[in-house]
Structures are given as structure tokens and as C-alpha cells.
């Protein structure tokens, strides 16, 4: 009988692996983990070295796969996917020994003599479900942390980006330990079956609707999760601002990867005094970036598939077009588009856009911008452009978001010292750098007490004198 019969349905998709195959796969990885093979530093270090070789040996293949899936310019594919993953591997190789070391901590007087330590240990078998918009980075960067932490991994890349997923499925078994790391290419049926299995950690990147399905499935086994879910990330433009720099950075952050970025500026809240000049500069910057006909630009990506193209095309009528709006269904092309006079209740403001459409709304002051943001679900990122440090502090202090960036967009993702993750509807948990190792690690608290002395103070029978001394030292 299929183990997926009681699993939540996600949507239709072609089948590539059977339920028994998937159950057997997870069982094999669990046996591998329980054998202890993944725990030694030597094994982890070797897997990271092989990971690095898999990237370096096939750099051109990775870039070509992302071009095939998304029309990604080589510059964007290298910087946003390939280099980020390679940097994560290099960082893990450099710091692995330090991350793995037990940490000595103090212990209370009442339990002396004793020593206390915190031992990092792997969680077990992790399921990583990637996303299609950055199909290399979002599928395999979390795996770097999971392997560094000593886990076995089931890697489920997105079926929506078939070229990159196919490359992952081809290369991972060639380079990484096949007894401990497995790729499940397939689609929704495979994911649905995997979610019926017991994992020790689930890491999911995608939308909130599926995130809720993942969390519900994880709850049946009390499995901890990281959910990277996105949301409508606001971009506040204050009245005191360097408009030229703001326009360049907002346009870059929004239209990078044709807007298909979970932390892209989803909408702009511009002070009324700067709306007109900001719109003018945005139009000028887009011509500077992509020319008079962005469709001919080698620097501009395409929409991932027809379904998302049709969804985005419907949003173009949500306001007055300042620039853009041209489409080509056959090429899955939507021009970089900026809208003004957008009603907050319009379709383009109802959900995360995830495409090259930028609504610009006006606010009379900073308080109104803060109220607008706080009236909506907490976003994955928040951007504020201002030369007034006090206004920046007000925005950061009075709003909540997974992360924030001041006078720039997207760049906070590049600092591996900053944990990346959401809050509220935009997700839970974090990764990047050591945070990736921490995510897939259990920090076990261990107290060690010698037996050469055994104070009787805590043992019955209790009396007033014992209580007096306990109060003194406790």
C-alpha cells in the first residue's frame, strides 16, 4: 500500500520515483547515519572538498543550466547562485574544526564540583526542498550546512527548473557519498511521499501555502523545520535621500533575475515630495541598464514558465504604467515595469509579485509608511533609503522583518556573518555561514560530576539547617 495515501496533496506533477523506492531511500540514509559514518570531521571535510570539486569542475555547466531555466545572464547566475554556494563551501572548509569543537561553560555553585560542556552533534537525516528561482543556490547551499554538521541529506530540487535539477541529480551521486546523500528529482508526488517519512530536520524554501503543508507534515513526527517563505518586502524612500543612488539600487534589486527573488523590493513607499523625481530616475536607470528595448538585452532574464507569465501579466493593469508593460508570451518576456497611482487594494498589492513589476505608492510622512508596513504580514526583507540616521532608526525600531538593508537592496544576503531567514508569515529559522551549521546541529548540554566527593546537603532527610545552606549557595 502507498505510504502517501494520507499525505497532503500539493498539485499535479509527473511521477519519476515510486513510493517504495522513496521509503527505501530514506531508510538507507537512516542506516548510514546510525552507523556513525557521518560524524567524524574527516568525513565531513572530505564531503565538502568533493562538493567544492563538483562546483569548480562544472562551473560552465551550472551557468548554462540556469540560462536554460530562467534565461539568467551569466553575470547574475555566477554572482547569485554559483559564487554564493562556492563561498559557503569555502567558509565551511575553513571553519569546520572550530564549529565542531565542544564549548566549555561555567556551572552553578550548587552543583560543584562539576564541568559543563555543550557538544555539537548532527541531527540525523535532513530533507532539503529547494526552489526554482535560484535553483542552484536554494537547493544546494543548505546542503553545505547539513553535511558540515554531519547529517545525511535527501535533496529535493524544484521540478520547475528542470535543467538545473537535472544537473544536480547527475553530479551529486558522482561527487558525494551516495550512501549518505541522495537527490530526488521528481515533482509533487515525490515531495508528498517524502513528507510522510520521518526526518530529523526539514528545510523548505518556497511559498507560504506549501510551507504550511510542510509544517503540518513535520508536526506529525515533531520534526523541526526551517521555512524560507518570502512575502511582500517594502522599500521606504524618505524625503531626505540620494535619489540617484536610490533609483539605481532599487532598480537593480527589483529587476535582478526579472524580479523573481524572494527578497526583491516588492513595492515602494515614497514620500510624496520625491515620488515624481524618483519615477523619472527609475525610468532613466532602466534605459541605462537594459536599453530602449530590454527584450534585446543580454542582461535581462525571463519568466520561469507560462503559468507565472500569465499570473504576472494580469498584474500589469493595477496602476498607471510609468515605464514598461510590454510582453511576449512566446518568449516569456515581461518588460521591467514601474506602476504609479496604485490602489493598496489592487491585485498587484494582494500577494508577493515575484516578477518585474514595481508598484510605487506615496505616503505623506514616515509614520504613514511605518503604519502601512505594520498593517501587513511581516516581510522577509525591508529596505529603507534615507540620509537621516534618526529616521532609519525609527523604521528599524518600529517594524519587524526577517532582515533589513539600509540604502541598498539584496546586499544583506551576501554577508555570511548575517543569519538569513524570515519572521512570521515570511518564515522561521535562518542559515548562511555558521548559521547553516547551527541549523542542522543539536547542541547537547552535558554536565560531568566526579565521584571522589559527594556532598550530602541535597539528600533527605531535609532539615532547617540544610535549607539554610541551600539558600546561601543557591
Give per-residue pLDDT as tens, 272-330. Answer: 999 999 999 999 999 999 999 999 999 999 999 999 999 999 999 999 999 999 999 99
Binning the chain into helix, strand and coil, the percentages to the nearest 5 are 45, 20, 35
Residue 470: pLDDT band with limits 50, 70, 90:
confident
Any idea which of 70-79, 104-113, 190-199, 377-386 has the lowest mean pLDDT?
Answer: 104-113
Going by pLDDT thresholds of 50, 70 and 90, the confidence category of residue 16 is confident
Q: Is 377 buried (19+), middle (13-18) or exposed (0-12) by CB count in 10 A?
A: middle
User: Domains in the chain, please, with CATH?
Assistant: 19-229+426-445 (3.40.605.10), 234-421 (3.40.309.10)
pLDDT digits (tens, 9 = 90+) for 337-351: 999 999 999 999 999
Q: Return left, alpha or beta for 341; rule: phi > 0 is left, psi -120 to 50 is alpha, else beta.
A: left
Tracing cell 522577509 back to the chain, one arrives at: 380
Q: Picking from 72-76, 146-150, 389-393, 454-458, which range would have the lowest pLDDT averaged per residue?
A: 454-458
**pLDDT tens per residue across span 201-216:** 999 999 999 999 999 9
Contacts of 92 by beta carbon, 8 Å cutoff, 6+ apart? 48, 99, 144, 145, 148, 436, 437
Contact indicator for 201, 440 with CB cutoff of 8 Å: yes
Task: Decide: helix, strand or coil at residue 2.
Answer: coil
Q: Write 80-87 long-range contacts (CB < 8 A, 24+).
A: 80/134, 80/137, 80/256, 80/257, 81/134, 81/135, 81/136, 81/137, 82/55, 82/136, 84/137, 84/141, 84/413, 84/414, 85/55, 85/136, 85/137, 85/140, 85/141, 85/144, 86/52, 86/55, 86/56, 87/416
Task: Round to whole Å and give the CA distance between 38 and 342.
Answer: 54
232 and 361 in contact (C-beta within 8 Å)? no
Q: Nearest 5°: CA angle at 165, between 30 and 76?
A: 125
pLDDT at 306: 97
Whole-number pLDDT of residue 14: 54
Q: Which of 8-12, 28-32, 157-161 has the lowest mean pLDDT?
A: 8-12
Q: What is the pLDDT of residue 30?
A: 98
pLDDT score of 234 more than 60: yes
Q: With the CA atoms of 292, 298, 304 and 310 taken in that order, what torsion angle do they form, in degrees rounded to the nearest 10?
A: 20
Single out the residue of 45, 131, 154 nearest to residue 80, CA to CA: 131
98-124 pLDDT, tens per residue?
Answer: 999 999 999 988 888 999 999 999 999
Model confidence over 155-186: pLDDT tens digits?
Answer: 999 999 999 999 999 999 999 999 999 999 98
Q: How many residues would you count in the chain?
A: 474
Mean pLDDT of the chain: 95
Please, which pLDDT band fits residue 455 given cuts at 50, 70 and 90?
confident
Q: What is the pLDDT of residue 2?
A: 32
Q: How many CB atoms lie within 10 A of CB 454?
A: 9
For cell 554577508, what's the residue?
Answer: 415
DSSP annotation of 437 reads: H
Active site (catalytic) residues: 228, 262
**Measured over all CA atoms, what is the biggest interatomic distance in the chain, rounded to whole angstroms?**
89
pLDDT in the model for residue 111: 87
- The 3-class secondary structure across 363-394, one letter per residue, is ECCHHHHHHHHHCCCCCCEEEEECCCHHHHHH
Least confident of 46-50, 283-287, 383-387, 447-451: 447-451
Residue 48, SS3 per DSSP:
helix
Q: What is the mean pLDDT of residues 7-34?
A: 79
Report whether pLDDT(449) > 90: yes
Tell me the three state secondary structure of residue 403.
Answer: strand
CA nearest neighbour of 387 among 279, 245, 263, 240: 240
pLDDT, average across residues 354-371: 98
**What pLDDT score was predicted for residue 15?**
64
Q: How many degrees, rounded to 5, is the angle at CA 382 between CA 378 and CA 383?
A: 160
Separation of alpha carbons 268 and 249, rounded Å: 12
Amino acid at each position: 500500500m502507498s505510504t502517501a495515501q494520507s499525505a497532503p496533496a500539493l498539485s499535479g506533477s509527473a511521477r519519476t520515483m515510486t513510493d517504495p523506492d522513496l521509503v527505501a531511500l530514506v531508510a538507507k540514509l537512516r542506516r548510514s547515519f546510525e552507523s556513525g559514518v557521518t560524524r567524524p570531521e574527516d568525513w565531513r571535510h572530505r564531503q565538502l572538498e568533493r562538493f567544492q570539486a563538483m562546483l569548480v569542475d562544472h562551473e560552465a555547466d551550472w551557468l548554462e543550466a540556469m540560462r536554460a531555466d530562467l534565461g539568467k545572464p551569466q553575470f547574475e547566475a555566477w554572482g547569485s547562485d554559483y559564487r554564493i554556494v562556492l563561498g559557503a563551501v569555502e567558509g565551511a572548509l575553513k571553519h569546520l574544526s572550530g564549529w565542531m569543537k565542544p564549548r566549555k561553560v561555567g556551572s552553578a555553585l550548587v552543583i560543584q564540583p562539576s564541568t559543563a560542556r555543550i557538544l555539537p552533534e548532527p541531527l540525523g537525516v535532513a530533507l532539503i526542498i529547494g526552489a526554482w528561482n535560484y535553483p542552484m543556490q536554494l537547493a544546494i547551499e543548505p546542503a553545505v550546512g547539513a553535511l558540515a554538521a554531519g547529517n545525511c541529506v535527501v535533496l529535493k530540487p524544484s521540478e520547475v527548473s528542470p535543467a538545473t535539477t537535472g544537473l544536480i541529480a547527475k553530479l551529486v551521486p558522482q561527487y558525494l557519498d551516495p550512501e549518505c546523500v541522495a537527490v530526488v528529482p521528481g515533482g509533487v508526488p515525490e515531495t508528498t511521499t517524502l513528507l510522510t517519512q520521518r526526518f530529523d530536520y526539514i528545510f523548505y524554501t518556497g511559498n507560504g501555502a506549501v510551507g504550511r503543508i510542510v509544517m503540518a507534515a513535520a508536526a506529525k513526527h515533531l520534526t523541526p523545520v526551517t521555512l524560507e517563505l518570502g512575502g511582500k518586502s517594502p522599500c521606504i524612500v524618505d524625503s531626505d535621500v540620494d535619489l540617484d543612488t536610490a533609483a539605481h539600487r532599487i532598480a537593480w534589486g527589483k529587476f535582478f533575475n526579472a524580479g523573481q527573488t524572494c527578497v526583491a523590493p516588492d513595492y515602494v513607499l515614497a514620500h510624496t515630495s520625491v515620488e515624481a523625481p524618483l519615477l523619472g530616475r527609475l525610468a532613466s536607470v532602466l534605459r541605462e541598464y537594459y536599453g530602449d528595448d530590454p527584450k534585446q538585452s543580454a542582461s535581462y532574464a525571463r519568466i520561469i514558465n507560462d503559468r507565472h507569465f500569465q499570473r504576472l501579466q494580469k498584474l500589469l493593469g493595477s496602476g498607471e504604467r510609468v515605464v514598461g508593460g510590454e510582453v511576449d508570451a512566446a518568449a516569456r518576456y515581461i518588460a521591467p515595469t514601474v506602476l504609479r497611482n496604485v490602489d493598496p487594494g489592487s491585485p498587484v498589492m494582494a500577494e508577493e509579485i515575484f516578477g518585474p513589476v514595481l508598484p510605487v505608492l506615496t505616503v505623506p510622512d514616515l509614520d504613514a509608511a511605518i503604519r502601512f508596513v505594520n498593517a501587513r504580514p511581516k516581510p522577509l526583507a525591508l529596505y529603507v533609503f534615507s540620509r537621516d540616521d534618526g529616521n532609519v532608526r525609527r523604521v528599524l525600531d518600529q517594524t519587524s522583518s526577517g532582515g533589513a538593508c539600509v540604502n541598498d537592496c539584496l546586499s544583506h544576503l551576501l554577508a555570511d556573518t548575517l543569519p538569513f531567514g524570515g519572521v512570521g508569515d515570511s518564515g522561521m529559522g535562518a542559515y548562511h555561514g555558521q548559521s547553516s551549521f547551527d541549523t542542522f546541529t543539536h547542541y547537547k548540554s552535558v554536565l560531568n560530576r566526579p565521584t571522589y566527593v559527594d556532598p550530602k546537603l541535597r539528600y533527605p532527610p531535609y532539615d532547617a539547617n540544610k535549607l539554610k545552606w541551600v539558600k546561601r549557595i543557591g
